[in-house]
Amino acid sequence: MTLAAATDLAAATNENLANISNTLIYSAMAVYTLAFFAYIAEWLFGSRSKVAKTAAALTAEPAAAKKGPAVTVNQAGGTAVLERPKVTVRAASGRRDVPDGPGAHGGDEQGDLYGRIAVSLTVLGFLIELGGVVARAASVERAPWGNMYEFNITFSTVAVGTYLALLALRKNVRWLGLFLITTVLLDLGLAVTVLYTASDQLVPALHSYWLYIHVSTAILCGAVFYVGAVSTILYLFKDSHETKLAGGGTPGTFATSVLERLPSAASLDKFAYRVNAAVFPLWTFTIIAGAIWAGDAWGRYWGWDPKETWAFITWVAYAGYLHARATAGWKGRKAAYLALIAFGCWLFNYYGVNIFVSGKHSYAGV
């Protein structure tokens, strides 16, 4: 690159907008931190009085099961009326169906207030972070995902946006807030320290409209896969908890405070499956779009570059998970482990390949 070309690139970067972007990202982190404490307050100060009901019901199940189903006969005007015994059905995960917990606030008005404050702060943090992403894009007049720093701030923005969109659709996912904001803060902390890259122009290979299509869909898929992964992890904890209760065990303090407020294992399992299944076709499109872009940029559609290889491995892992869910013998915990392996492949495809492996996609900027 000549000195004149380098000067032109530097001139194309609006340093004022770049600094505004940095300020907004740090401001978003501050607001997310306040939201984090509000979510903590929701869990701590939410009532625990309603939490024990599910545990009591589950603990009573084994004793009732030993006695066998009882048939009650009521006399009504000389006519015997037989009441059907209650039958415990089994969930998709292979465990007993149990009611969902009262939520992060525990059904308490004070806890609910803290939860609403937390959500409001999350919305504010999302808007500020979105402004930071837009300012970053405007500073160089391109898509704001040309390196790992930009990918991280955009990814966390989309992840929070996905959570807020589910809330707007009146989905009961406020239990996800604390876990989401915790990891978003970690993601942004990593972005502004280890992965930070000064605002600059793209390398020539990235100058394509496919950058807007391919990378944006990859970010959206990653955000939704993340939501599914968190739900899967919580499902594994809740499923173990319900199994313990069904066996007559006594829950500990952590289980009473946290796990009993979450949705049932069956609900968490179903939610994780639905979000993963919904976004899987888009991940398929992401790989196809990348192949088309590779054909335009490098003259071949597929070359088993490390990034291409791990994108395909991720696709195979999620396809295996979805197939396992459709197979009777692989529901529940076994399928959940496959889902976490698949998300681990996605994480390595981004962090591991970009940082530790060299290839045609080596645009990490670190």
- Domain segments of the chain: what residues? 10-50+102-202, 55-101+204-366
- The values of phi and psi at residue 285, to 5°, are -65, -35
157-178: per-residue pLDDT in tens?
999 999 999 999 877 888 999 9
Q: Which pLDDT belongs to residue 67?
A: 44
C-alpha closest to that of 237 among 93, 46, 110, 133: 93
**What was the pLDDT predicted at 278?**
93
Tell me, what's the pLDDT at 131?
Answer: 96
**What pLDDT does residue 360 have?**
55
| Helix 109-140, helix 148-168: angle, nearest 10 | 140
Treating both helix axes as pointing N-terminal to C-terminal, what angle do 333-347 and 306-325 enclose, rounded to 10 degrees? 170
The 3-class SS string of the chain reads CCHHHHHHHHHCCCHHHHHHHHHHHHHHHHHHHHHHHHHHHHHHHCCCCCHHHHHHHHHHHHHHHHHCCCCEEEEECCEEEEECCCCCCECCCCCECCCCCCCCCCCCHHHHHHHHHHHHHHHHHHHHHHHHHHHHHHHHCCCCCCCHHHHHHHHHHHHHHHHHHHHHCCCCCHHHHHHHHHHHHHHHHHHHHCCCCCCCCCCHHHCCCHHHHHHHHHHHHHHHHHHHHHHHHHHHHHHHHHHHHHCCCCCCHHHHHCHHHCCCHHHHHHHHHHHHHHHHHHHHHHHHHHHHHHHHHHCCCCCCCHHHHHHHHHHHHHHHHHHHHCCHHHCCHHHHHHHHHHHHHHHHHHHHHHHHCCCCCCCCCC
Contact (Cβ atoms closer than 8 angstroms) between residue 360 and residue 298: yes
Which residue stretches of the chain have pLDDT < 70? 1-12, 47-97, 202-207, 254, 328-329, 357-366
pLDDT, position 332: 83
> What is the C-alpha to C-alpha distance for residues 11 and 9, in angstroms, rounded to an integer?
5
Q: What is the predicted pLDDT for the residue at 366?
A: 53
How far does CA 84 lie from the centroid of its chain? 42
List Cα–Cα distances, 64 to 69, 70, 87, 246, in angstroms: 8, 9, 11, 11
- The whole-model pTM stands at 0.80
Looking at residue 1, what is its pLDDT? Answer: 42
Amino acid at 319: A
Q: CA nearest 96: which of 54, 127, 67, 151?
A: 54
In this prediction, residue 77 carries a pLDDT of 52
Between CA 302 and CA 290 the distance in angstroms is: 9
What residue type is 288 in one-letter code?
A: I
Distance CA(233)–CA(253), nearest Å, equals 19
Chain centre to alpha carbon of residue 105: 20
Determine the Cα–Cα distance for residues 160 and 178; give it in Å rounded to an integer: 11
Residues 6+ apart with CB under 8 A from 299: none
What local confidence, expressed as pLDDT, does residue 211 receive? 81
Q: Which pLDDT does position 178 carry in this prediction? A: 93
| Token digits of residue 136 | 């970053």
**pLDDT score for 331:** 76
C-beta separation of 207 from 297 below 8 A: no
- Give the model confidence (pLDDT) of 247-275 as tens digits: 877 777 767 778 888 898 999 999 999 99
Check residue 203 and give its pLDDT.
Answer: 65
Query: What's the rounded Cα separation, in Å, for the pair 178 and 183?
Result: 9
Q: How many CB atoms sit inside 10 A of residue 180's CB? A: 25
